[in-house]
Structure 1
Amino acid sequence: MTAVLDRLRVTDPARWRALALRWRRWAEVAGRLIAECGPPLAALRAAWRGAAATAAVQRLEALRRRLVLFRLHCWRADQAAGEFAATLSRARALLSRSLADAALGLAARADAGAAERFEALTEAIRTPAEPPGPERPDCTSAPAEVHRWWMALSREQRNWLLATEASWLARMDGLPAADRDIANRLLLDNRRDEIDQAITRASGRDRDRLREVRDGLARLSDRLATASGPRAYLLQLDLAEEGRAVVALGDPDRAANVLTHVPGMTADLASYGGELARAQRVAEHAAEVSPGVATSAVMWLDYDAPDFVDEAASARRAEAGAPALRRFQEGLRAAHEGPPGRQVVLGHSYGSLVVGRAAAGGLDADAVAFVGSPGVGVDSARDLRIPSGEVWSSTARDDVIQYAAVSPGSLVHDLSTVVSGPIARPLLAFGLPERNLWFGHNPSDPAFGAHVFASSPGGGHVGYWEPGSPSLRTLTEITLGTAR
């Protein structure tokens, strides 16, 4: 046992992260080679006819397919090495706390799991991909049905579908996160080409919008390629409107706890980095507090967040986004490996209304948390279909949302208070948090029925994730299921 402990102490997780990065780089090289196959194929088809031309095209297409499969295998190796590095880091953290037995158990499970994944990958490389039968789930299939269909396929059939039908699989809730990540990464080069071509055709404000989307896509691509921070899984990417993305930090299918972060007003692909950083702080703090279990954080931006006050004054965008959030959570549950994980959904600002609308209709979550909320569309925690005692809310004392997003009735009352009384009345009318907000009862009012937790007094509207803040600590505890 002492020898194993000594080996764990000197094992450097950074080496495994570097290995994952090398596999990612090989996938990039293969992507460039695939792109170079395009012009020769187009030229052959345009200028050459006959049996020899057909044979040449077939050879180039076969080469392209092999390169696509090579990329797929590179990303699988990248995922396995990255997750192994993350687990080793947690095992070493346990060891530093003199929890030798827990550290050894975690390291042993990680070693066995990584060995199994690399062995399966070796076998997959030796075995050619093969097309599956004609059965396919349709757009009405529940995520659990999608997952059963996918797992019933052979490894070779799944690889064939990923290599040939990535655009169809990329947004399919119920697919394992690792496979969905591969499908979306395979589409990244096409997405870049699409946005560049759209910019050349656009003008005025539309061109400016597309350029912002392109810049956001470039930053997202950089984050997917980097070795710093938890390994990112690209679960959804859409360049429509201001752009949408769903990114998980750490594999949610293998995590004991999964936090889904739903951002609010003005969130888009160009600003995704700040939202992802907030989600990452919870995941990293959870790893510090409880290294014995894995925690994944998901930045879920799969709805058209409002950009202007008049758009944010309507619940329409939240109502449109709620069904997609429900399906995503159902997909997380269906694809999870081992015992069910703890699923927590966090809504910030207008995102809290998206979460509220989803939870009112039934959301596959073990807990929901609202921060900086303008109201969640219901008047009581009892109206949310969430386990009893698992609704949480916080609003910082200086968060403008509780003064700016008051209900029409409250606004009329406050104005009448101001005009009908002495000079101190404005402070009484507008200086205290409102009970009734634009989208219903303030969830941070104790009468709403949620657990109200503290925030930093000077945090404002976006300070809930500041390092060392009481709100970050409580959000972490909610994610881990240890909040009281």
Structure 2
Amino acid sequence: MLSRLRRGTAAAGLALVAVLGVGSWASADAQTPLTGPPPGTAAWRADTSLGVPLPDPGSARPAEVAAFFAGLPAAQRESLAVRHPQVVGNLDGAPVALRLRANALAVEEEREHQRQRAGDTALPSAERAAAAAKADRYGGLAHRALLAFDPRGRGQVAEVFGDLEHDERTAVLVPGSDTDLATYDRPSAAGYDTLAGMARSLRAASGDRVAVVAWAGYTTPVGLGVDAAREELAEAGAERLDRLLAGLAPVTGRVELFCHSYGSVVCGRSAPDPALVAGVVAVASPGMGLERADELRVPVWAVRRNAGDWVGDVPNVSLLGFGHGTDPTSGAFRARLLPSTGSHGHGGYFAPGSASLAAFAALALTATTNA
């Protein structure tokens, strides 16, 4: 028995070394999760124009926010969006159409701010160049359906593909490492291996019947660093995801969650509410921070990995705060398995014509609106 214990300890130690011993793990940038209320909250809290307190962005539940806006005339809603676009645009529970309007205003405000900085000769040339690049980036977001927009740090965003209020079903895509405001829809030769590309591909595969939210709404790891091996960023992201889903529920009913790579850790840590989530799909997952699928209260699917997906080389361990537990595609995890024929690589599971994309569309279309 002692020898078995020693062998098990040695195996766990070797797995940890495998996780931490790769050079890129140590060299990647450590990230601090973006938490708390959105920019502009101080001015929002000080606003007494309506004669009543506005719901606090840091503590009000989405249901409370929804009830507050439901009691306002349309003109007062619009006035709040114009005066406080970054708060309203990121306020879970606010009406969807109002959030889209507010974020359009917030993007334009931030674009103009960066354009002014780009022309400020008192700033160092590097800062001016960075500001010009941001202004161009924000210009590219004009006329997009943004459910969230936060330019702080690496930036966060949520874009809607389709119509949340009228399409038959809704899916939410939760991305993994290296996804932020600048990269979520970066140009791609494949066209379906970025977060926005995955969203477009899923919507098209559904026959444009499923509204898809591409949610880059949490601080993701950068590279394959220590952050990617631990779950602190996932824990912070899970809280933000839970608020998003609670805010959407009155409009969309239950949604299907598609969780890619480290995003599957976020979904695993979020403990999805069956009243809000019809099911969770783990795609290219290094583990969900769980030992078994039935630790969640909703059905869990896992996509069989294709031969070119490097995540299959990640050790499925959970030791001293590193690793994400059982392989979701293993028999021990007990998830429902989905095919991956026709996919390729870590980001290729949403490839048109693949068996995985067809399965995703079928699941999204069968997500029910009743708990």
Q: Establish whether TM, by shorter chain, passes 0.5.
A: yes
User: Kindly tell me: are residues 211 and 469 of structure 1, through their superposed partners in 2, closer, same or farther at Cα, counting changes over 3 Å?
Assistant: farther
- Structure 2 equivalent of residue 439 of structure 1: 324
Does structure 1 retain, via aligned residues, the 8 Å contact 2:338–2:356?
yes
Q: Which residue of 1 aligns with 2:239?
A: 323
Letter matched to residue 196 of structure 2: L
Preserved contact between residue 271 and residue 296 of structure 2 (Cα < 8 Å): yes
Distance 2:287 2:256 in 1: 19
Residue 314 of structure 2 corresponds to residue 394 of structure 1: no
Counting aligned pairs with the same residue, the percent is 30
Give the helix-richer structure, 1 or 2.
Answer: 1
How many angstroms apart in 2 are the aligned matches of 1:211 and 1:331? 34
2:256 — aligned with what? 344
* Equivalent position of 1:305 in the other structure: 220
Residue 464 (structure 1) shift: 0.7
The answer as to whether partners of 1:246 and 1:301 remain within 8 angstroms in 2 is: yes
Instruction: Give, in whole Å, the separation in 1 of the partners of 2:138 and 2:116.
Output: 14
What amino acid is the match of 1:302? G
Residue 13 of structure 2 is matched in structure 1 by none
Change (3 A) 1:202 1:257: farther
Alignment of 1:19-58 (within 5 A): none
Aligned residue number for residue 256 of structure 1: 168
Change (3 A) 1:265 1:189: same
State the distance in 1 between where 2:260 and 2:131 align.
26
Change (3 A) 1:454 1:213: farther
Q: CA deviation at 1:169?
A: 1.1
- Note the alpha carbon deviations across 1:44-98, whole angstroms, 9 max, x for none: xxxxxxxxxxxxxxxxxxxxxxxxxxxxxxxxxxxxxxxxxxxxxxxxxxxxxxx
Highest Rg: 1 or 2? 1
How far apart are residue 330 of structure 1 and its match?
Answer: 0.3
Q: Give ranges in structure 2 of 5+ residues lacking alignment.
A: 1-48, 186-193
Task: Kindly report the root-mean-square deviation, in angstroms, between the aligned alpha carbons of the 2 structures.
Answer: 2.7
How far the C-alpha of 1:342 sits from its partner, in A, is 3.4
Cα distance in 2 between the residues matched to 1:248 and 1:447: 36
Structure 1 residue 262, shift from structure 2 partner: 0.9
Three-state SS of the structure 2 residue aligned to 1:438 is coil
CA–CA distance in structure 1, aligned partners of residues 366 and 273 of structure 2 = 23
TM-score, structure 2 length as denominator? Answer: 0.75
| Cα separation, partners in 2 of 1:475 and 1:408, compared to 1, 3 Å | closer
1:372–1:396 CA contact under 8 A, matched in 2: yes
Q: Relative to structure 1, is the Cα distance of residues 185 and 145 closer, same or farther in structure 2, using a 3 angstrom cutoff? A: same
Match of 1:314 among 230, 241, 248: 230
- Tell me, in whole angstroms, the C-alpha distance in 1 between the residues paired with 2:67 and 2:307: 48
Report if the CA contact (8 A) 1:260-1:297 is conserved: yes
1:239 aligned residue: 151
Q: Counterparts of 1:209 and 1:363 in 2: how far apart (Å)?
A: 44
In the superposition, relative to structure 1, how do residues 213 and 264 fare at CA in structure 2: closer, same or farther (>3 Å)?
A: farther
Following TM superposition, by how much is the alpha carbon of 1:401 offset from its aligned partner in structure 2, in angstroms? 3.7
Matched, 1:279 2:199: yes
Closer, same or farther: CA 214–256 of 1 in aligned 2, 3 Å: same
Given that residues 213 and 239 in structure 1 are in contact (C-alpha distance below 8 angstroms), is that contact kept between their aligned partners in structure 2?
A: no
Q: 2:366: which partner in 1?
A: 481
Structure 1 residue 357 displacement after superposition? 1.0
Q: Which amino acid aligns with 1:278?
A: M
Indicate the structure whose relative CO is greater, using CA pairs within 8 Å and at least 6 residues apart: 2
1:240 alignment partner, SS class? coil
**Residues 1:184 and 2:103 aligned together:** yes
Q: Secondary structure at the match of 1:359?
A: coil
Secondary structure (helix, strand or coil) at the match of 1:134 reads coil
Cα separation, partners in 2 of 1:383 and 1:346, compared to 1, 3 Å: same
Alpha-carbon distance between aligned partners in 1 of 2:129 and 2:265, rounded to the nearest angstrom: 29
Paired with 2:213 and 2:294, the residues of 1 have a C-alpha distance of 26
Residue 405 in structure 1 maps to residue 314 in structure 2: yes
2:103–2:149 Cα contact (<8 Å) kept: yes
- Aligned to 1:219, which of 140, 157, 163? 140
* Aligned residue in 1 for 2:182: 270
| Residue 299 of structure 1, CA deviation | 0.4
Looking at structure 2, the residues matched to 212 and 354 of structure 1 have their Cα atoms a distance apart, in angstroms, of 30
Structure 1 portions without partners, runs of 5+: 1-130, 225-231, 289-293, 411-436
Matched, 1:137 2:49: no
Structure 1 position 157, deviation (Å): 1.9
1:377–1:409: structure 2 CA closer, same or farther, 3 Å change rule? Answer: closer
CA contact (8 A) 2:343 2:355 kept: no
Conserved 8 A contact 1:216-1:272:
no
Structure-2 separation of matches of 1:406 and 1:213: 38
Change (3 A) 1:178 1:463: same
Q: Cα distance, 1:313 vs. partner?
A: 1.9
CA gap of 1:219–1:472, structure 2 versus 1, over 3 A, is same
Q: Residues 347 and 207 (structure 1 numbering): CA distance in 2 closer, same or farther, change over 3 Å?
A: farther
Q: Label 1:360 to 1:160 Cα distance change in 2 as closer, same or farther (>3 A).
A: closer
Aligned-partner SS, 2:165: helix
SS at match of 1:140: coil
Q: How does 1:186-205 map to 2 (within 5 A)?
A: 186-197=105-116, 201=123
